[in-house]
Amino acid sequence: MSKLVSVNVGMPKDVRWRDSLVHTGIWKAPVDGPVMVRRLNIEGDGQGDLAGHGGEQRAVMVYQVESYEFWKRYLKRDDLEFGNIGENFTVSGLADDDVCIGDHYRIGGAEFEVTQPRVTCFRVGMRLNEPEMPKLLVAQHRPGFYLRVITEGSVQRGDEIVRTRRGRHQLSVADVDALLYLPHRDAGQLRKAVDVPALSPGWQGSFRELLAAPAESSDRPAWNGFRPLRVTAVCRESESVLSFLLGSDDGSPLPNSLPGQHVTVRIPGAGDPAPLRSYSLSGDPAAGVYRISVKREGHGLVSRWLHDHVQAGSVVDVAAPRGDFTLADGGGPVVLISAGIGATPLLAMLNALAAADGNREVWWLHSTRNRQSLAFEDEVGALVNAQAHAHLRVQYTETDGRLNRRSIEALKLPVDSTVYICGPTQFMTDIRDCLTAIGIDASHIHSELFGALPPINPGVVPAQRRPPHQPPGVPGAGPSVTFARSGLTVNWSSEYRSILELAEACDVPTRFSCRSGVCHVCVTGVVAGTTNYVQPPLELPDPGEVLICSAAPDDDLVLDL
C-alpha cells in the first residue's frame, strides 16, 4: 500500500542566483499534522511562477521516496531531504512508470487526478546546486507528477493512498514525459496522449503540434552561412525607402523563400567587424531573386551605408531566408496590417496571395505618416486589384490619426480572419488588443518583431536592462560570436559555460527554462558558423539550430538572437 510520507509547503521568496534574483517557491519543508488541500493549492504553500507551476492542473506536486534513494546513490549525496525536489507530497510507491495520466487517488479526506509530469525548469537545479538536474530527471525517467484536486479535504503524513480509477489508455507519467522531451516518438502514443481528457491543456497542445509537424521540415535554410549576392537593381520606393534586388552571380534562380521570411545581410566595408542586419524579403517569394527594402534611419549605420554606397553591381553577403512569421496555408480571410517599413514582409505575403487562386478575402491595412512617406503604392494597388475579394485601406496619421479600435471596427473585418501584423512594437500591441476586442481569436493573430525577441526568463525578477554591450572583464580570445538581432559581436571566453551565459553577460535578451538541454525554449537559429555541445542535449534541434544553454562556438558564429 502506498503512503503519504511527508507533506511539504513553502511560500515564494526571492533567492539570489548568479547575478539575478529569482522569485521561486521551490524551497519546501515538511509540516506536521493535518493540512487542508484546496482546489488551487495546499494551505501554506505557493508558487513563484504561475506560468509554469501551480493553478488547477498543477495544484499538488508529487515525488517518491524511492526516487530520493536513487538520487542519493546517483549523485553521491547524503544531504537530500524531503521537499528538496520541490514536491508537496513525498510518497512511498506511485512510481512514475506505474502511475498513469488520469489516475484518481484518495488521500485522507481529499481526492486527486494525475494531470501531467513535472515541468522541467532550472530552479530544481538551482535548489540542489546541480545545474543538470532538469535533464537528469527526464533522462532517468523520474520526473514526478502533478495532481488536480477533485475533492478538497485534509491530508497528513501517514495517510494511505488508494487508487480509485485508472486513466484512459493507461499512459504512464514516465511514458508521457518521454513523449515530449525525448527523441524517437511514437505517433500512435501521441494520438493516445491527446485522447486523455485528464492531460493538462498545455501538454495536449504540445502533442498536437508534434502530430501536426511534418516528418521532415520544409523550411530549413537553403544554405549554410553567408553567400555573396549581386545587386541587380536599386529602386526608390519613397522619400526614405530604397529597394535592392539581389541575384546570383551566374543568373541562376535563388531558392524560393516563404512569404514573410527575412534574410541577414553582412556589409563588408561598412565597419569592422562587418555589421549585420536582418531585413524582410519584400518581393515575390517565387521570383528567383530576393528584394529587400530599407528605410534610411538617421542613426542607422547599415541603412545609411546601403543608401549611400550600394548600387547595381555591388556585392553583399546574404544568409539564407529564415523566420517563422510566414503566411499559413488555408482558404479563410487574411488581414495584413502594417505601419511604415513594417509593410515589407506583408508585401511578400500579398504577392503570394495574388499569385494563388485569388479567391480568398484579403485586407491590406497600412498606416504611415503622410503621402510622401507612403511606399509601394502602385505595387500594392496592382496586387489588390488583381484579386477579386481584396480590400485596400491606407491611413495617414497626420490627417486621419492612428488606427484604433473605432476605425478597425468600422471596417467590419471577418472575425474568422487570420491576421498578420508588422510595425513598431507598441503599434503591434495596440492593434492586437483592438482585434481581440472585436472578436478575432488571439491565436489567429501573428506579429513580426525585427529586433531582439522578448526574453523568456521564468521566475527571474525583472531588473533594469542595459542595451546589449561587451561582456565585463578581460575580452575573450576565442571565436567571435555575433548576436545578429542585437547588433553585437563579442569574442568567446572559456569562463562561460555556454553561449547562453555569454549572452546574459552582454544583456542580450535570452529565452530559457531548463538550462540543461531538455525543453528547447532556448533554441536559436545559426546564421553562420558551427557549435559544439558541452553537455549533450536529450534531443538535438533541427539542422541550422542550436540549444544555446548547452553549446559553445567551434568557430566564428552568427546567431539569430
Cα-based torsion angle of the residue sequence 512, 517, 518, 522 in order, rounded to the nearest 10 degrees: 30
User: Is 453 within the bounds of a domain?
Assistant: no
Closest CA to 440 of 420, 421, 413, 422: 413
- Looking at per-residue pLDDT, the higher value among 268 and 489 belongs to 489
Q: Give the Å distances, CA to CA, from 428 to 173, 263, 408, 445, 548.
A: 40, 21, 14, 10, 28
User: Is 36 within the bounds of a domain?
Assistant: yes
Structural domain count, the chain:
4
Residue span of the structural domain in which 441 resides: 334-448
Closest CA to 57 of 67, 66, 47: 47
Burial of 376 (0-12, 13-18, 19+ CB in 10 A): buried
Q: pLDDT digits over 84-102, tens only? A: 999 999 999 999 999 999 9
Same domain, 45 and 166: yes
Same domain, 146 and 79: yes
Same domain, 359 and 507: no
The answer on pLDDT for 449 being more than 80 is no
Same domain, 424 and 501: no
Task: Point out the domain boundary residue: 267, 282, 315.
Answer: 315
Question: Do 437 and 405 touch, CB atoms closer than 8 A?
Answer: yes
Question: Do 108 and 3 touch, CB atoms closer than 8 A?
Answer: no
As a whole number, mean pLDDT of residues 496-516 equals: 93
Same domain, 235 and 166: no
Same domain, 51 and 177: yes
Cα separation, 331 vs 80, whole angstroms: 57
Cα separation, 326 vs 257, whole angstroms: 10
User: What is the predicted pLDDT for the residue at 149?
Assistant: 97
Q: Which residue has the cell 511578400?
A: 348
Q: Nine-digit cell at 431?
A: 492593434
User: Is 297 within the bounds of a domain?
Assistant: yes
Q: Nine-digit cell at 513?
A: 527554462
Same domain, 140 and 286: no
* HSE of 44, CA atoms in CB hemisphere, 13 A: 15
As a whole number, mean pLDDT of residues 498-520 equals: 93
Q: What's the pTM? A: 0.86
What are the E-state strand segments in 373-530? 390-396, 418-422, 445-448, 480-483, 488-491, 523-528
Q: What's the distance, Cα to Cα, between the start and end of the chain in Å?
A: 52
Contacts of 445 (CB under 8 A, 6+ apart): 419, 421, 432, 435, 436
User: Is 111 within the bounds of a domain?
Assistant: yes
Question: Do 529 and 455 touch, CB atoms closer than 8 A?
Answer: no
Same domain, 427 and 520: no
Question: Do 518 and 135 touch, CB atoms closer than 8 A?
Answer: yes
Q: DSSP secondary-structure letter at 225?
A: S
Calculate ∠ Cα 329-333-335, nearest 5°: 95
Q: How confident is the model at residue 215 (pLDDT cuts 50, 70, 90)?
A: low
The answer on pLDDT for 457 being more than 90 is no
Q: pLDDT digits over 382-431, tens only? A: 999 999 899 999 999 999 888 888 989 999 999 999 999 999 889 999 99
Cα separation, 431 vs 367, whole angstroms: 11
User: What is the predicted pLDDT for the residue at 436?
Assistant: 93
* HSE of 542, CA atoms in CB hemisphere, 13 A: 12
Phi, psi of 517 (to 5 degrees): 85, 30
User: Is 499 within the bounds of a domain?
Assistant: yes
- Give the CATH number of the domain where residue 442 resides: 3.40.50.80
Q: How confident is the model at residue 214 (pLDDT cuts 50, 70, 90)?
A: low
User: Is 462 within the bounds of a domain?
Assistant: no
User: Is 242 within the bounds of a domain?
Assistant: yes
Same domain, 47 and 159: yes
User: Is 47 within the bounds of a domain?
Assistant: yes
Longest Cα–Cα distance of the chain, Å, equals 81
Same domain, 245 and 207: no
Cα separation, 346 vs 177, whole angstroms: 39
Same domain, 350 and 281: no
As a whole number, mean pLDDT of residues 166-179 equals: 96
What average pLDDT does the structure give for the chain?
Answer: 92
Burial of 541 (0-12, 13-18, 19+ CB in 10 A): middle
Same domain, 291 and 437: no
Helix 201-212 with 173-181: angle, nearest 10 deg: 50
